[in-house]
Each structure stands twice: as structure tokens, then as C-alpha cells.
Amino acid sequence: MTTVTPVPTGTPIEDRRTVNLRIETTRPQPSDALTPASMPVLRMESLSVYYGSFRAVRDITLDVRTNAITAIIGPSGCGKSTLLRALNRMNDLVPGARVTGKVLYHGEDLYGPRVDAVEVRRRIGMVFQKPNPFPKSIYDNVAFGPRVNGLRVDMDALVESSLRRAALWDEVKDKLKQSGMALSGGQQQRLCIARAIAVEPDVILMDEPCSALDPRATLQIEELMMELKRNYTIVIVTHNMQQAARASEETVFLTMGEERAGHMVEKGPTSEIFTNPKNQLTEDYVSGRFG
Amino acid sequence: MSSTAVAAQVRRASLKGSGVDVRGAVFQGLLALALLFSLTVLIVLLVDVLLRGLPVFAARGADFLTSEVVSQPSQAGVVQGIQGSILIVLIVTVTAIPIGLMTAIYLEEYAPDNRLTRFISVNIRNLAGVPSIVYGLLGLALFVGVFRSLGIGPGGNGRIVFAGGLTMAALVLPIVIITAAEAVRAVPNAIREAGYGVGASKWQVTRQLVLPSAMPGILTGVVLSLSRALGETAPLILAGAVLGSYSSGDKDFVEQLFGAYTALPMIIFGWTKESAPEFRQLAAAGIIVLLAVTLLANALAVVLRNRFERSW
């Protein structure tokens, strides 16, 4: 008999990090000694991701800044999405995918023994490249996560607050029963963001969330991200360098070598990366000379 | 030829044309002809059956539906056939459909993608192509055999409606599996990922996202399967359905369940073999009943499908 520790909605971030990731109740809660204040929400230590024998991402060591937007940029095929999907164990769904190294979430290794990937994913939510609302009503799209996680809350209020935080409420409040598929692309993506934040994650991973959207919808999503970073830690993969420059505090530049394994070239404050990069490869990439 | 030469040639060509695409027009005509041909065959069949069969209903009305299969053409009816066919469909519904569905979901969502899984999938496809008479042999050997060894059936011969129903279930099982598996496979992966992304478990994703998305396709397969189970005759001949006249007498429902049985297509087949011309009319009337039952079953599935799409 296992029980899952539920996270009540609206829990402050400081409390959320002490929630047990494991499906065992006997395990002691991580103490403060395990998660010192200096420990970031997410830390990668020598993280490599393999598909079968092919190493897609090589040896990434990186701290993700809390309550900030971190952009991962780099040329196509350098493993940006793969790296992102390693952060909430989405790669578990790909047959043959495996990981070496560590991803520490509040100090606890997500790939450690007995860590439940399902529990990981509800704390580290995801927004995908192509808006992928469920073929359900707008209301049910948002309520799906809280329901499958067994949250006993005022669902109407949670749906409303999630849609408000995703800056979508005013546009859909009169048609909550209509299908989420009937919305425009930009609205669908904001619906997907509302769906992701309805389970109160503390990290949101975004995999090129604007690549299927027009410039206006892109701007709306970016404004939304700026708004959300006050409560969430956001990691975004983007092809769009203006987007990285506009909307992120931290930038990580990946590229790939001869053997096609993506590796990290440089990381730092976005302004540094774009105006004063230390590495020639970074400079070539951000100035548009390659990639 | 250099690209500038090509460009020059293209520009010289006139913009004027006849506006008639002969080959296209011929092709379109052929397509329309093919449609016309299929429609004609269908209409001729239907008109022929109606012309022969309707007089029976005009003369006897509901009496034809409630009479037993007796040797007197003026008194013969299809009541045992209706009962048998409905029971067979029910047996298929409670056996082949859940088993087939679960098999399909397992193969698509849970089974590892390896050689064994692919081997099994290919062979389920092959099973769908096995002639129905072979399933009849299976029904005779397995189901009739088991019921006989248990001493069930008229005179303990094992020839009961369950033998026929289970034979039909075995026959349509591959169809259910293939159509359901295709419907499940057609559900976009983005939907599964979205579910996992908010912390749903595999069971929740399968039950709440994949299955509802696949349901219209699954129900289409169910309709096909049930229509097949209603219409097949050959397996029933071997699985012990009565061919020719018999009386259920005043047996109660349970006694009939474990007694002799027949089905609509069996009765139709029996009547077409008779030499008296009245029986041909009866056969046509039987076909009308069979078509009506099939249409009814299909309509029910379509209603279910529509209701499902609305609520989803």
C-alpha cells in the first residue's frame, strides 16, 4: 500500500520543496541540511542523455536560477529538447533513452532509486512545441491535472485562477464548456500553460512554446512568462534568439561536436551571452554567423 | 538544355489552351461509372429481395416473425432465428469485444516494441484472413466438443447457441483487435505527452485520454464485427446450428438456451435449398429481417458513437 503525498494548491514555494517525491511514506522528509538555501531548484551534474548507444547530450553541469527564466539556445539537433526532457523524466517514455549523471531537484536526484517519474512530472511541468490541448472542454483541460492528482479543491476556483494566471480568462470565461481545440493557436498554447500551472508545479519547462505561433501570440506568451517567473522557475528551449534575448535572465548555449553529442559551450546572464560572450562559438552563433 | 533556354521556351508558350483535359475527363468518367455499377448491383439486389419478400409480410404480417421454422411454407417463420442471432451477437459482445479491446490496448500501449510483439501483430492480421469455415471447424472441435463432453445440449450433443456464439466470437476477435489497435495507434502522441506532463500515470493517460480519443474508431470496428457475426453462415453449419425445420415446442427460455438453436442466415440458407417456390419468397422475407436486424445493430453503435463524441 503506497500513498502519494499531495501538494495543496497555493502552497508557497518554500514549502513545496519539502514535499516527498517518493511513493513511500516511511522515508523522512528531506531536511534543511539536504537542501541548503544555496541549493537551486534544479541542478544538473555531469548529465548525459543517451538514445541506445547514441549520446545525444554530453556532460552538462548547470544550476538553474530560481524564479527566473533560463533560455537554452543552440543549433538544430544539438540536444536542447533532449536536455529539457531529461529534467522531468519525459525521456523515460522514449524506448532506449537513458541518463547518466544527476538532476538534483531541491537536492534530490530525480533519477535516484524509487523516485516516481509521475511525481516528478507534476512538480516539473511541461509546455510543448505544438499546442496540444486535450480534445476536451476548456474547463476539463485545466481540471485534468488536478483531478488525476487527486486534489480535493474548489475546482471552479482553481480553473479560474489558472486561466487568469495564463492571461486567458477574459477570452474564454463565457465558453468554458467549449472544446479547447476550437481556440486559436496562441490561445491554445496559453490554455496549455494554464493546464500546466493548475497542478502548482514549481518548475515549468517550455519546449519552443512559440515556434508554431504568430508574432503577436508570441509576444503574449513572452509577457506571460515574465509574469509567471515570479512564482515559478522557467526553463525554455528556443530557436528564436530575439526571444532568448528579450525574455530570459540566463542563457545556456549548447552546440554539438563531431560525434553529434550536444554539449554546453557557455552559460551566463543573458546580457553577457549576447553582448560579451567569452567563447568564439557563442559569439558566432548569437551574431548569426553560424547555426 | 540550359535553364535560360528552358525559361525562354516557357515564356514563348501560349497562355491560351483548349481548357479541356481529355485524360482527366476520361478518368473522372470512369470513376463515376464505377460508382454507378456498385450502386446498380446494390439496388437490383435490394429491389429483388423486396419484391419477393414483402408479399410475405403483406399476407402474414408479424406472424412471420413469431412463427417457428416449420416445413409448411404457409406457417413457417423466423422466431428462432431472431432469438439465435440476437443471442449470438450478445455472446460476441460480452466475449470478443472486451477481450479484443484489451488485447489491442496491451499491444499498442504496453507491450515492448520487439520481435515477439511484431510477430504476434502480424499473425493476428493473418487470423483475420482465415476463411470462416475454418473457424467453424474450430467451433466444432473445441466448443461443441467441450459442451458435448459436459453432456449439455439436445441429447447431450453439445450443439447449443453458446457453441455458435463463441465460434463467432473467435471469428471476429482478430477484426476487433486490428481495428481497435489502429484506432489506438492513431491517437496523436502529443495527447499522451500532455497527460504525462501534468503528472498523469500511464493508466490515467490510457483510460482518460487515449481510449476516449480512440473510441469512435473502436466503435466502427465493433459495428463491423457485429455485422459479420450476424451474417456469417458457414461456421454455424459446423458449430451445430439447426438447418431446416424444427420446433422449440413449449420449452422455457433456459431450456431453449441449452437446446437446439439456429440463426437467421441459417434459416435463409435452409429455405433457398427447398424446391417449392414459396420458400424462395420466405427466404427473401428472411433476408429483409436479417438486414433490418443488422441495420438496427449498426444504428445503435452509431448512436453510441455520436453520444460519446458529444460528451468527450
Per-residue pLDDT reduced to its tens digit, A113-142: 899 999 999 899 999 999 999 999 999 999
Considering only CB atoms, which chain A residues are within 8 Å of B198? 121-122, 125, 144-145, 148-149, 195-196, 198-199
Q: What's B212's domain CATH number?
A: 1.10.3720.10
Evaluate whether residue B33 is within a structural domain.
no
Which of the four pLDDT bands, split at 50, 70 and 90, describes residue B73?
A: confident
Q: Which residue of B has its CA nearest to A92?
A: B196
If you average pLDDT over every residue of chain B, what do you get? 90
Give residue A46's domain range.
41-286
| pLDDT above 60 for A24 | no
Domain count, chain A: 1
Which of the four pLDDT bands, split at 50, 70 and 90, describes residue A2?
A: very low
Mutate to test the interface with A, among B198, B211, B312 (most CBs of A within 10 A): B198
Evaluate whether residue A4 is within a structural domain.
no
Evaluate whether residue B19 is within a structural domain.
no
- The CA distance from B200 to B53, in Å, is 57
Q: What's A194's domain CATH number?
A: 3.40.50.300
Evaluate whether residue A1 is within a structural domain.
no
| pLDDT above 50 for B175 | yes
Q: What is the rounded average pLDDT of the residues B156-160?
A: 88
Q: What is the pLDDT of residue A33?
A: 43
Q: Are A165 and A228 spatial neighbours (Cβ–Cβ below 8 Å)?
A: yes
| pLDDT above 60 for A10 | no
Q: What is the pLDDT of residue A110?
A: 94
For A126, phi then psi, to 5°, come to -140, 140
Evaluate whether residue B41 is within a structural domain.
no
pLDDT digits (tens, 9 = 90+) for B176-229: 999 999 999 999 999 999 999 999 999 999 999 999 999 888 988 998 899 999
Nearest CB to B196; choose among A93, A123, A133: A93
Mean pLDDT comparison of A52-61, A237-246, B35-44, B54-63, highest-scoring range: B35-44
For the record, the C-alpha cell of B34 comes out as 464505377
Considering only CB atoms, which chain A residues are within 8 Å of B309? none
- The CA distance from B243 to B265, in Å, is 10
| pLDDT above 90 for B299 | no
Q: What is the pLDDT of residue B201?
A: 93
For the record, the C-alpha cell of A191 comes out as 490554455
Q: Give Cβ neighbours of residue A215 (< 8 Å, ≥ 6 apart).
A: none
**Smallest Cα–Cα separation from B53: which of B275, B280, B290, B274?**
B280
Subunit contact A144:B113, Cβ cutoff 8 A: no
Q: Give Cβ neighbours of residue B268 (< 8 Å, ≥ 6 apart).
A: B233, B283, B286, B287, B290
Evaluate whether residue B22 is within a structural domain.
no
A291 or A237: which carries more pLDDT confidence? Answer: A237
Subunit contact A128:B201, Cβ cutoff 8 A: no
Domain count, chain B: 1
Subunit contact B312:A199, Cβ cutoff 8 A: no
Q: What is the pLDDT of residue A37?
A: 55
